[in-house]
Amino acid sequence: MSARCLGTLAERIAFHSEAQSTGCVHWMGSLNNKGYGQIRFAGRLMLAHRAAYEAANGALTAAQQVLHRCDNPRCVNTEHLFLGTPALNSADKIAKGRHAHGERHGHAKLSTAQVLAIRASTEKQAVLAARFSVSQSAISRIRNARRRAGAEEFSR
């Protein structure tokens, strides 16, 4: 009822945000302790960037995460936002981590897509190791990392 008087979610977000010369659109309302904007809408406290994404693209599931290309937590410019999932985020971290640590065993570098494929697969380690030209222990590490990342993501 009162939500209608205050306008749509998109209008509320536009009203409380301000375009910056950097291209980011700053949320001018309250911020949480991590610097993300927060908005109360229809009795629900939402993250402002997540609300902006929902207003533009439709409702999200709890497992979907809205990430910033610009690394600016208070930015609500939907052009700077993209959708991630816990699986995609942790695969991305593993792919970047592998890159950062170098390939001590001379393995081919795995892309995020390959890490995801390994984690989605139920095939034997040996089969995957051969397909991706990495050791079986590399396959095992990727699968173990999935379990750890999963526990962290869902305990939040």
Which parts of this chain interact with Zn ion (CB under 5 A)? 24, 70, 72, 75, 77, 80
Nearer to Zn ion, 12 or 80 (CB): 80
Distances from the Cα of 95 to the Cα of 46, 78, 103, 133, 134, angstroms: 30, 26, 12, 15, 13
Q: How far is the CB of 4 from Zn ion (least distance, A)?
A: 30
Nearer to Zn ion, 75 or 129 (CB): 75
What are the residues facing 26 on neighbouring strands? Answer: 18, 75
Strands 38-41 and 81-84: unpaired
Strands 44-47 and 81-84: unpaired
Q: How far is the CB of 25 from Zn ion (least distance, A)?
A: 7
Give me 12's structure tokens: 């509320």
Q: How far is the CB of 147 from Zn ion (least distance, A)?
A: 33
Residue type, 101: H
Nearer to Zn ion, 26 or 119 (CB): 26
Nearer to Zn ion, 77 or 125 (CB): 77
Q: How far is the CB of 99 from Zn ion (least distance, A)?
A: 25
Q: How far is the CB of 49 from Zn ion (least distance, A)?
A: 9
Q: Backbone dihedral region of 106: left (phi > 0), alpha (psi from -120 to 50 degrees) or beta?
A: left
* Crossing angle for the helix pair 136-155 and 112-120, to the nearest 10 degrees: 90
Nearer to Zn ion, 75 or 115 (CB): 75
